[in-house]
Amino acid sequence: MNNSQSEDELEKNWKELSNLLIGNWTTQTIGAAVRLGIIEALVQHPMTLENIINTLKLNKNACEHLLRALIGLKIVKFSNNTFFLTTKGEILKEDHKWSLAKPALLWSEEHYSAWEGVSESIQTGKPYFEKKYGDIYFEWLANNPEKCLAYQSALESYAEHDYRYIPKLYDFSCHTKVLDVGGGSGNLLKRILKKYPTIKGILFERPELASLAHKNLSIPGLENRYKVILGNFFDEIPKRGDIIILARVLHDWDDLRAQIILKNCFEALPRKGRLIIIELLLPPTLDSGFGALLNLNLLVMTGGKERTLDEYKHLLEDTGFEFKTIILTPSVSTIIVAKKK
């Protein structure tokens, strides 16, 4: 035994580490509950074990295993011979405003299997996803429409939670047209246009997201105030806005490709045009684990990375931008404000 640890401290550390080692069990348990329909079944009304297995056509013994695990995770409760969702479990409902149902599927499928190669990614510095699935992640999504929709739906869940602060914290009223580059389904752009009724917006995205973006943005009050332009931000970005938003875009790419995106943003903006980058900022020193697992996931999936503020400053300077300030948000993201010189 390490004499530097007391028996109680050793016991505590052993239990914590033991629980961390089976985090994959938790991911798959929650993913299975969503995938098999147990969560949505319990949304309708509390059910007995017999109700659940008959409704969902599940094996009785195995279903009991899963329900016990969900009780242990405090997602389901059991009382009077009946199972029902806890308040935590309700966040897995598909219609919850901050639903984590789609992320539960996302993290328990291809993202999950790609992590089997994390050691190789660390050795090579390359995304293991590309080796396992034969293509870079975003091209693979483009060629698998159902997976692309699932991915965007999962991101929408996080956007509903995280992006609600952005229009309040950054004043868009001094701008006339906002260009959201790589804006996915348009959640953030929709929020900005709703809060600032005098400005117009453009969503610039890949062709496979056109219908999803139009569906999300086609709401009362936004008619004739938005456009969806299709293209690739590595080729060219349309010269249409006096401010460009890059929300959780740059972290998907290595420095070389991030510079290409930023250079194209620079070319697209008028003189003194603004750029806001919305990303998680890594702490400047290595003694913090904040954002570390997400950073590792980016390596495995896309070869991208989270960055420190200094790293973003260097990227901005190298591509002609002048760093102005940062705006902290209550979520994990920070708003980085820059200006075209």
Q: Where are the domains of the chain?
A: 7-93, 162-340
Task: For 256-267, write each residue's pLDDT tens digit.
Answer: 999 999 999 999
Q: What pLDDT shows up at residue 2?
A: 52
- The Cα 186–Cα 130 span in angstroms is 27
Q: Could you give the residue numbers annotated as active site? A: 251
Task: Report whether pLDDT(145) > 60.
Answer: yes
Tokens of 58: 């599940």
- What pLDDT is stored for residue 26 in this prediction? 98
Q: The domain 7-93 is classified under which CATH number: 3.30.830.10, 3.30.450.40, 1.10.10.10, 3.30.1650.10?
A: 1.10.10.10
Report angle CA 67, 153, 73 to the nearest 5 degrees.
20
Spatial distance between the Cα atoms of 175 and 196, rounded to a whole number of angstroms:
10
Q: How confident is the model at residue 179 (pLDDT cuts 50, 70, 90)?
A: very high
pLDDT for residue 3: 63
User: Residue 98 — pLDDT band, cuts 50, 70, 90?
Assistant: very high
Other Cβ atoms closer than 10 A to 233: 21
User: Residue 341's pLDDT band (boundaries 50, 70, 90)?
Assistant: confident
162-340 folds as Rossmann fold (3.40.50)
Tally of residues, the chain: 341
199-252 per-position pLDDT tens digit = 999 999 999 999 999 999 999 999 899 999 999 999 999 999 999 999 999 999
pTM here? 0.93
